[in-house]
Amino acid sequence: MKILFCGDVVARPGRAVIKKYIPYLRKQWSLDCVIVNGENSQHGFGLSEKTANELFDSGVDVITTGNHVWDCKDLLSYIEQEPRIIRPLNFIESVPGRGFFINKTQIGNVLVINAMGQVFMNPQLDNAFPIIRQLLNSYKIGSNQIKAIIVDFHAEATAEKIALAYYLDGLVTAVIGTHTHVPTADERILPNGTAFISDVGMCGDYASIIGFSLSTIGHRYLKKIPMIEKPGPSTGPATLCGVIIETNDETGACSKISAVRLDGAINGTINGTGSNQIYVQ
């Protein structure tokens, strides 16, 4: 099984690069499942029904989220109607939506789990570690029911992400870090077969401040003046950042994890080869 996970989609440039590449990559790489983190897809803050459907129409199977999930109020009702959009599992039970989704493919089912970190984030969240393990009591990778399990861990602290990956090593196919919008170079397979990367990066304009206008420098970092309005997203060409997870269909373990970076400011790698091998009409 081949699964593509793309990092935080930021505003129109991020949606555009998803629309450009996903239909082509699904066919070219025979992808079985495509997952993206969409919590910044609506003008940089939140996910709306309109932007969610734009991602689905581009060939995305599952949309994960994070701390900006409720920034667009229409998602409060739409997430109840659309199970392919998931919010962090460790929110309190009374919030709308669910923290996981089972995506059916021709090879088998992929369980996608979304969770959020506590360190430097929101201390009011429940602890994701035992909550994920409790869910996994009902789902085993490599079974007839579930062929792969992908965890999007939306967290700030690198150490917390690494800790969760080792905690779940052998129980899930991959733990993929999101939230910081900067791709790390530590993709690897842990001793018991779980793939891991600290942060997959963003799908957005990298000639920016994590996807947002450079005007934030003067307000936030030089003058220390809070911005009256939220910073606007940067509108330059986007880079698609993601990873491809290849699995052992018998065990559900990861057999290969490869970084994908296409277009924009940090283009150039697919499995270590030049991105000029990709042509999209």
Please, what are the domains in the chain?
2-277 (3.60.21.10)
Question: 83 Cβ partners below 8 Å, 6+ apart?
Answer: 98, 101
CA–CA separation, 126 and 50 (whole Å): 30
Q: Read off the amino acid at residue 278.
A: I
Asked whether the beta carbons of 159 and 167 are under 8 A apart, the reply is no
Residue among 39, 50, 35 nearest 5 (CA): 35
Predicted confidence band of residue 268 (pLDDT cuts 50, 70, 90)? low
pLDDT in tens, 118-159: 999 877 899 999 999 999 999 999 888 899 999 999 999 999
pLDDT in tens, 17-50: 999 999 999 999 999 999 999 999 999 999 999 9
pLDDT in tens, 188-241: 999 999 999 999 999 999 989 898 888 777 677 777 777 667 778 888 899 999
Lowest mean pLDDT of 75-84, 132-141, 216-225, 266-275, name the range: 266-275
Q: What is the pLDDT of residue 274?
A: 38
- Active site (catalytic) residues: 68
pTM of the complete model beyond 0.75: yes
Tokens of residue 158, six digits: 């690198």
Apex CA 9: angle with CA 88 and CA 267, to 5°? 130
